[in-house]
Amino acid sequence: MSKKVFVGLSGGVDSSVAAALLVEQGYEVVGVYMKNWSKDLPGFPCPWKEDYQDAKRVAVQLGIEFRMFDFEKEYFEKVVDYMLDGFRSGITPNPDIMCNQEIKFKLFLDVALEQGADMIATGHYAKVITKIQTKTDTNSEITKSLDTRVKPLTDGENVILNLLGVAKDDNKDQTYFLYRVTEAALGKTLFPLGDYTKPEVRELAKKFGLVTAAKKESMGICFVGKVGIKEFLQQYVTTAPGPIIDDKGKIIGEHDGAIFYTTGQRHGLNVGGGLPYYVVGKDMDKNEVYVTADIDDIRLWSKDFVINSAHWINDAPQNTDDLKVRTRHRATPLSVVAIKKLDNGNWHISLDEEVRALTAGQSAVFYQDGVCLGGGIII
């Protein structure tokens, strides 16, 4: 009997192709549209109805059952409130990471399993790597090939490990947004696009004749639509103008709310004077934003930083051999020279080179040998 897979159909080309590939591979596929947001914002209509219809059309094309899961209440409580609380406190949270943690790979997974699914699937560019670890004679080849990131086993004990592997397409790899997924969830998840590039996925969509083949990439906040963070925040937070202060203590402009600014930001300051200025800090209580025109300002560069709320998919890094970290999605991976757990549960990280504009609230995600180990929140 073939496994029943509930695939998240967003109405985009990636999830459409993921579903088509699963059908082609012989799975019993059920398409599911997650209704996480349906509210229109001023000037930014929510595209959920169009996306829902596109997802439904794909399901009809593929001849698969189609359902809708309404997660709006949970999405606001778990993702939107998290984002709003973070911005109000002066940090810059990542709602897409929280959506994956709380909605797609927790709530969606739980409901799918309750409704008879064996597994779930999404259109993320990532891989699940399954390994069997066995403790045998220390000289055997299988022991030599064991993953060093997992805890020792007793003699003869076997454990199936589900690792989060990076996608074939480096440019589209989405493991940065998936690092808070659990090992147990990975064991119930398929990523059909992990071995394809985006151009190859577009070609597959054409081959399958999918109605979403030419649909453009979605932008903006996860599920909300083509709306920027600033425009979204303006609907939920109260702000007031305040001073923009340079590194000499001089007021050089006025901002429209300190909450909207983040470390390293250059655009949108409107301070004039011809020089490019960079945000180096802010005081939420005083409603002040601090900037510098010196790109070499020490406040813009770091070789050491600390993370909290660490989440390791299998186990924390055991060594720094080929250990890399990304401090933003698509940022160049940086070599880690030291990583240490502190007494308070946070982790201290040292890099071999300086990184610009580390931002509190964003995530640092660690990689080793093509595997995403997990990460934490920069503080």
Q: Quick one: fold of 298-378? A: Elongation Factor Tu (Ef-tu); domain 3 (2.40.30)
Q: Cα 351–175–173 angle (5° rounding)?
A: 100
Closest CA to 107 of 158, 201, 32, 24: 32
Q: What is the pLDDT of residue 221?
A: 63
Range name among 49-53, 83-87, 150-154, 171-175 with the lowest pLDDT average: 150-154
- Residue 220: the pLDDT is 58
Residue 136 is predicted with a pLDDT of 54
Assign 249 a pLDDT band (cuts: 50, 70, 90): very high
Dist. CA 306–CA 360, nearest whole Å: 10
Mean pLDDT, rounded, for 53-64: 98
- CATH 3.40.50.620 spans which residues of the chain? 4-126+170-208
- Tell me what the mean pLDDT of segment 287-304 comes to: 96
SS3 (DSSP) at 351: strand
Pairing, β 127-134 against β 119-121: unpaired
Assign 160 a pLDDT band (cuts: 50, 70, 90): confident
Q: Does the active-site annotation cover 99? A: yes
Q: Tokens at residue 344, please?
A: 């308070």
Identify the bridge partners of residue 315 per DSSP, sorted by sequence position. none
User: pTM for this structure?
Assistant: 0.91
For the residues 22-31, what does the mean pLDDT come to?
98
The whole-number pLDDT of residue 350 equals: 98
- CATH number for 4-126+170-208: choose from 3.30.565.10, 3.30.460.80, 3.40.50.620, 3.40.50.2300: 3.40.50.620
CA pair distance 123, 202, nearest whole angstrom: 13
Domain 239-292, CATH: 2.30.30.280
Asked if pLDDT for residue 27 goes beyond 50, the answer is yes
Q: In the chain, which residues fall in CATH 2.30.30.280?
A: 239-292
Q: In Å, how far are 278, 361, 369 from 341, measured between CA atoms?
A: 32, 19, 21
**Could you read off the pLDDT of 202-234 as tens digits, one per residue?**
999 999 999 999 998 876 566 566 678 888 999
**Three-class SS state of 67:** strand
Rounded to whole angstroms, the Cα distance separating 279 from 269 reads 9
Phi, psi angle pair for 25, to nearest 5°: -85, 0
At residue 187, the pLDDT reads: 97
Among 211-225, 251-265, 347-361, whose mean pLDDT is lowest? Answer: 211-225
Kindly tell me if the per-residue pLDDT of 331 is higher than 70.
Answer: yes
Question: CA-CA distance, 103 to 209, in Å (whole number)?
Answer: 30
pLDDT at 354: 96
Please tell me the predicted confidence (pLDDT) of residue 157: 66
Tell me how far CA of residue 211 lies from CA of 6, 16, 41, in angstroms: 20, 9, 27
Q: Does 67 have pLDDT greater than 90?
A: yes
pLDDT of residue 132: 82
**Contacts for 100-105: CB closer than 8 Å, 24+ residues apart:** 100/177, 100/178, 100/180, 100/181, 101/180, 101/181, 102/74, 102/78, 103/34, 103/36, 103/71, 103/74, 103/75, 103/78, 103/79, 104/8, 104/34, 105/178, 105/181, 105/182, 105/185, 105/189
Torsion of CA 80, 83, 89, 92, to 10 degrees: -160
Per the prediction, the chain carries an average pLDDT of 92
Cα–Cα distance between 28 and 118 in angstroms, integer?
10
Instruction: Tell me the pLDDT tens digit for each residue of 165-181.
Output: 999 999 999 999 999 99
Which member of 62, 97, 99, 365 is catalytic? 99
Instruction: Name residue 68's beta-bridge partners.
Output: 33
Supply the pLDDT for residue 315. 92
Residue 222 annotated as catalytic: yes
Q: In this predicted structure, what is the pLDDT of residue 218?
A: 72
Q: What are the backbone dihedrals phi and psi of residue 255, each rounded to the nearest 5 degrees, phi first?
A: -100, 170
pLDDT at position 143 is 36
Q: Which tokens belong to 323? A: 């250990």
Kindly report, residue by residue over 260-285, the tens digit of the pLDDT: 999 999 988 988 777 899 999 999 99
pLDDT digits (tens, 9 = 90+) for 112-157: 999 999 999 999 999 999 988 765 544 443 333 344 444 555 556 6
Q: What is the pLDDT of residue 158?
A: 74
Of 20, 222, 245, 323, which is the active-site residue? 222
